[in-house]
A and B are shown apart, each in its own frame.
Chain A
Amino acid sequence: MVESHIAKTLEDALKTLNSGKFRIVAGGTDMLIQNRSHTGMPIGYKDNVVYINLINELDYIKEDEDNVYIGATTRLETILKSENAPKILKNIIHEMAGPGIRHTATLAGNIANASPAGDSLVGLYVLDASIKCQSVDNTRIVKIKDFIQGVRKIDLKSNEMITEVMIPKYDFSRFVFKKVAPRLSDAISKLSFVGAIRIEDNEVKDLRMALGAVYMTVLRKEDIESKYIGQSIGELKNNIELIIEDYNSFIKPIDDQRSNKEYRKQVALNLIKDFIMKS
């Protein structure tokens, strides 16, 4: 028999996590599906479960001069409606799932699920988000690219939980989110793309691109980006074939029931090209 515990406070949740092996359920929109069982039977959890969805103290969106802070139980719909959440993230959430899921699912849950097709992740990579992990006796902050280690693999100890997502504030001249999904709503991405650029006096001051579902984790190559920072926008566009060449070998998608690798690869490169050429 698995044990399930409904935590009402952060302290309660952390103590529970410290007392044994527990899976954390926030919105549950992925956990329920992954552990589904026959109609009329209990959910098929194989481990103990702690529900954190009622922890009100983690339901917040705050900001200071440099960052936006999103609590672990904040619903996607709350972020979508908020004034201070980053625009890129709101654009992404607008295209995630459907209204029902968005009212239940959390951003922290999408991160912890660590699916290569997780839509919010491409945005969080581009925005250099950090994850706050807490346990009864420790708090640490990890960059998202370090937190996510592989397909459904994350840097979270068994007595820790994500309590907050921290997103630095940036000013971009232009950004694009493209979810390539089979239909317009309620669909899992075949691949996804975020591009963001800051241009001042015709010079590229900042350039970031991230791709989802073309590699084991979200693909963002800061070393490639930095090669083109400082160029004029004209030079950047002239270098498009080089940029494509730079990314080409890192894009390694798979065949699955939703699409094939040839499509994913070609569209990923098309999206990079389209973003640069329209900047």
Chain B
Amino acid sequence: MKDISKSINKVDNEEKISGKAKYVADYTMDGMLYAMTKRSSIAKGEIVNIEYPDLPKGYFIVNHKDVQGKNIIKMIFEDWPVFTEKNISYLYEPIMLVIGPEKSVLVDIIEHIKITYKEEKPIFAWTDSVIDYHFDKGHGNRIFDDADEIIEHTYETGYQEQAYIEPQGFIGYPEGDKTTLVGSIQCPYYVKNAVIQALGEKDENVRVIQANVGGAFGGKEEYPSLIGCQLAVAVKKIKKPIKLIFEREEDMLVTTKRHPSKTVFKAAIKNNQIIGLKAHVSIDAGATIGLSGVVLSRALLAVSGAYTIDHLDVSGDVYRTNTVPNGAFRGFGAPQMFFAVDMFIEHIAKSLNFDPLEFRENLLVKQGDRTSTNGLFREPVLMPNMIKKVIDESDYKNKIKQYSQKGNFKGIGMSLFFHGCGFTGSGEKNIIKAKVRLKKTKDGKVHILVAAVDMGQGIKTTFRKLIAHMLELDIEEVVFNNPDTDFVPDSGPTVASRTMMIVGGLLARAAKEMKSRWKEVTFTVEKEYEQPDYIKYDELHFIGDAYPAYSWGVNIVEVEVDPVTYQVYIKKSWSVYDVGKAIDEKIVLGQADGGLAQGLAYGYLEVMNHKDGKIMQKNMTDYIIPTAMDMGEMETYLFDNPYAYGPYGAKGVGELPLIGGPAAVAKAIESAINKNIYKIPVTPEYIMELMNND
């Protein structure tokens, strides 16, 4: 049988390249109305009064009074109202939908709705802690009693915007008693369950269908539940098809972003070695808590990076502020922490006068080592060979020596990282309980019935390829349509680098059974998630195996800094990843390039900040994401390291290649300007400040 990694064309290439692929904005229906959102004009306070203009015939207002179920979005932490009733907690908070046939009239109505507020002073400082976590490994803080030196640094990261090509949107319509939504989403069942709760409806009366998704990056994990609920409430009230599509600026001003963070690190040093670490991580949730607790967990779990440190004292807080809610974004807390820890270890090596590469290699995680929560790294760790590969290919050792001389403004940097695959802790077993189905029909075709979404990452291709490969069928014989909750079981959200490893793993089990029963003409096989026996995790105390498996990576980046303008030019990058086994090499390499571009840009290019709660970079002119010209050549290598429970050994791919970007580029800039860097993005303005401090 041929190697499954060998690439095939993506199955949706033709329809996407030709423009035939239909996105939610392309849908129209008879009698369709449009919805626009009336938002708050203050960041904190109370609504005192609302004055409405006379509505023309056929125009409607939909607000909290129309919510027949619970006026709260169903998600991990429930504190996000469908429509705000009275209390405003961030600028542009949605208060109501205005609905009708003509957009120009909607704009006019929105302008003429007069809202009076009792304004309060908004909080932007990180003072209101709403979640705090703490755990120890080994002796925890007590190890600092043995230290003969303590090194302390603080690391900061900024906002990042997902910048998907297609803004958020849904079309909703009634089907008898049923309310149906078609949308640009990552998680059909998140939306469905949220709508059931908001409408107070029965399960069978809510249907959610995924339209083609033009990029998501986490931005369409929980946010669509909010506007999906709003639209569902409107559809149920008005009983007509309604379309709600965000404009780009609206999308950038109001949707969730990556949590800004600040990590205070202390290292206990004895005999020139690290004996323990203490870390405190702060993240900014914005106005609602939502997923922030889980984002913080993922950051805390990565506290010692790709290194084994025996004694840890780890804590963190989620702070609520009167700013736009932050949420899921590719990496989910890990990019913030891997930047901080990889910089810190490098800075410690430098201040102890060690060669940073040797110092880091000595600390590297080995198979059998304990994780930050005393779980086990059970699988082989290939990092030494992976590091050697990219060091040789990039000529790293010679270059770092050469570039460390003052005045040439060239630099090279290397990051080491992993990503825990799948949901944190026992989430898969306790919360998600994924179910998949394979169905053989009379025509001999096999239908994949899962709720996983292709948002560009290629799952439409790789799932069909996986099943075709296992059942020895032509890929045309395997059918995988965009998920529709009326037809597919809940296989969980398309997040957390879980899709191929967890959902694909279940599908592979189903395919195995299907193969053994192939003689039957038509039948369905269903499989449900079973947690591997060895996974034991105590969520409350952060003890045990937080993840079933880990993917690994190394990035090396070479840069030049212009000493006149302080601009950074990326010359080339070398990367190596262990994702277990690539189900399609080209698709994994596509994720590798895109993820690294997004990670590097997070590290040096993408600037987003708020002023009095208002996002300042509200369009793609002012929020700078990289073009191909900015990224230089990217050389990528894949190492096979099959994982027993992944299909053909596959582990997580999607988030991994973003995670090492920030530290790699920041270290490359450090080596070019001979200054330590403590925050990202490393902008020319920041580089100028550093270089002025001579």
Q: Give A contacts to B, CB under 8 Å.
A: 33, 37-41, 178, 180, 182-188, 190, 257-260, 262-263, 266-267, 270-271, 274
Other A-B contacts than A182-B605, A263-B688, 8 sampled, CB-CB below 8 A, are: A39-B247, A41-B103, A41-B107, A182-B624, A183-B624, A188-B622, A190-B684, A270-B565
A199 to B605, CA, bound (A): 39
Is the Cβ of B624 less than 8 Å from the Cβ of A266? no
19 residue pairs of the A-B complex, CB under 8 angstroms, read A37-B107, A38-B107, A41-B107, A178-B564, A180-B567, A182-B607, A183-B629, A184-B629, A184-B630, A185-B629, A186-B627, A188-B622, A258-B622, A259-B685, A262-B685, A263-B688, A266-B688, A267-B566, A271-B565
A183 to B620, CA, bound (A): 12
> Least Cβ distance of B160 to chain A in Å?
15
Chain A, residue nearest B691 (CB) = A266
Is the CB of B104 closer than 8 A to any CB of chain A? yes
Given A39-B25, A187-B624: A267 touches B565 (CB 8 Å cut-off): yes
> Least Cβ distance of A31 to chain B in Å?
15
A274 to B626, CA, bound (A): 27
B-side interface residues, number (CB < 8 Å) = 26
Chain B residues whose CB sits within 8 angstroms of the CB of A41 once the complex forms: 103-104, 107
A270 to B563, CA, bound (A): 9
Taking a contact as CB atoms closer than 8 A, the residue among A38, A259, A267, A271 that contacts B103 in the complex is A38
Chain A, residue nearest B615 (CB) = A257
A257 to B566, CA, bound (A): 18
Is the Cβ of A178 less than 8 Å from the Cβ of B565? yes
Q: Give B contacts to A, CB under 8 Å.
A: 25, 36, 103-104, 107, 245, 247, 564-567, 605, 607, 616-617, 621-622, 624, 626-627, 629-630, 684-685, 688, 692
Taking a contact as CB atoms closer than 8 A, the residue among B103, B567, B617, B626 that contacts A257 in the complex is B617
Chain B residues whose CB sits within 8 angstroms of the CB of A38 once the complex forms: 36, 103, 107, 247
Chain A residues whose CB sits within 8 angstroms of the CB of B103 once the complex forms: 38, 40-41
> Least Cβ distance of A191 to chain B in Å?
9
A182 to B604, CA, bound (A): 10
A interface, by DSSP: helix, strand, loop or mixed? loop
Is the Cβ of B245 less than 8 Å from the Cβ of A39? yes
Is the Cβ of A274 less than 8 Å from the Cβ of B564? yes
Interface centre among A38, A185, A259 (most CB of B within 10 A): A38
> Least Cβ distance of A251 to chain B in Å?
15
Chain B residues whose CB sits within 8 angstroms of the CB of A257 once the complex forms: 616-617, 622
Taking a contact as CB atoms closer than 8 A, the residue among B566, B605, B685 that contacts A183 in the complex is B605
Chain A residues whose CB sits within 8 angstroms of the CB of B684 once the complex forms: 180, 190, 263, 267
Chain A residues whose CB sits within 8 angstroms of the CB of B245 once the complex forms: 39
> Least Cβ distance of B135 to chain A in Å?
40
A270 to B692, CA, bound (A): 13
Which 9 pairs from chain A and chain B are nearest by CB? Answer: A184-B629, A257-B616, A182-B624, A263-B685, A270-B564, A274-B564, A185-B627, A257-B622, A183-B630
A190 to B630, CA, bound (A): 17
A211 to B566, CA, bound (A): 17
> Least Cβ distance of B622 to chain A in Å?
5
Is the Cβ of A183 less than 8 Å from the Cβ of B247? no
Is the Cβ of A267 less than 8 Å from the Cβ of B617? no
Chain A residues whose CB sits within 8 angstroms of the CB of B622 once the complex forms: 188, 257-258
A274 to B565, CA, bound (A): 10
> Least Cβ distance of B660 to chain A in Å?
21
> Least Cβ distance of A183 to chain B in Å?
5
Is the Cβ of B25 less than 8 Å from the Cβ of A184? no
Chain B, residue nearest A273 (CB) = B564
Chain A residues whose CB sits within 8 angstroms of the CB of B688 once the complex forms: 262-263, 266-267
Taking a contact as CB atoms closer than 8 A, the residue among B564, B607, B624 that contacts A267 in the complex is B564
Chain B, residue nearest A191 (CB) = B565
> Least Cβ distance of B57 to chain A in Å?
21
A260 to B566, CA, bound (A): 14
> Least Cβ distance of A17 to chain B in Å?
28
Chain A, residue nearest B611 (CB) = A257
> Least Cβ distance of A213 to chain B in Å?
13
Chain A residues whose CB sits within 8 angstroms of the CB of B247 once the complex forms: 38-39
A260 to B686, CA, bound (A): 11
A183 to B565, CA, bound (A): 12
> Least Cβ distance of A155 to chain B in Å?
28
Chain B residues whose CB sits within 8 angstroms of the CB of A178 once the complex forms: 564-565
Chain A residues whose CB sits within 8 angstroms of the CB of B629 once the complex forms: 183-185
Chain B residues whose CB sits within 8 angstroms of the CB of A258 once the complex forms: 622
> Least Cβ distance of B422 to chain A in Å?
35
> Least Cβ distance of B685 to chain A in Å?
4
> Least Cβ distance of B467 to chain A in Å?
38
> Least Cβ distance of B51 to chain A in Å?
24
A185 to B616, CA, bound (A): 21
Chain B, residue nearest A33 (CB) = B621
> Least Cβ distance of A65 to chain B in Å?
37
Chain B residues whose CB sits within 8 angstroms of the CB of A185 once the complex forms: 627, 629-630
Given A39-B247, A183-B605, A263-B685: A271 touches B564 (CB 8 Å cut-off): yes
A260 to B688, CA, bound (A): 12
A260 to B617, CA, bound (A): 14
A188 to B616, CA, bound (A): 15
Chain B, residue nearest A182 (CB) = B624
> Least Cβ distance of B503 to chain A in Å?
34
> Least Cβ distance of B50 to chain A in Å?
23
A160 to B444, CA, bound (A): 73
Chain A residues whose CB sits within 8 angstroms of the CB of B617 once the complex forms: 257
> Least Cβ distance of A271 to chain B in Å?
6
Chain B residues whose CB sits within 8 angstroms of the CB of A188 once the complex forms: 621-622
Is the Cβ of B565 less than 8 Å from the Cβ of A180? yes
A260 to B607, CA, bound (A): 12
Chain A residues whose CB sits within 8 angstroms of the CB of B621 once the complex forms: 33, 188
Interface centre among A38, A182, A183, A262 (most CB of B within 10 A): A182
Chain B, residue nearest A264 (CB) = B685
A261 to B622, CA, bound (A): 17
> Least Cβ distance of B448 to chain A in Å?
34
Chain A residues whose CB sits within 8 angstroms of the CB of B624 once the complex forms: 182-183, 187
Chain B residues whose CB sits within 8 angstroms of the CB of A259 once the complex forms: 685
> Least Cβ distance of A45 to chain B in Å?
13
Chain A residues whose CB sits within 8 angstroms of the CB of B627 once the complex forms: 183-186
> Least Cβ distance of A43 to chain B in Å?
12
A270 to B621, CA, bound (A): 26
> Least Cβ distance of B256 to chain A in Å?
20
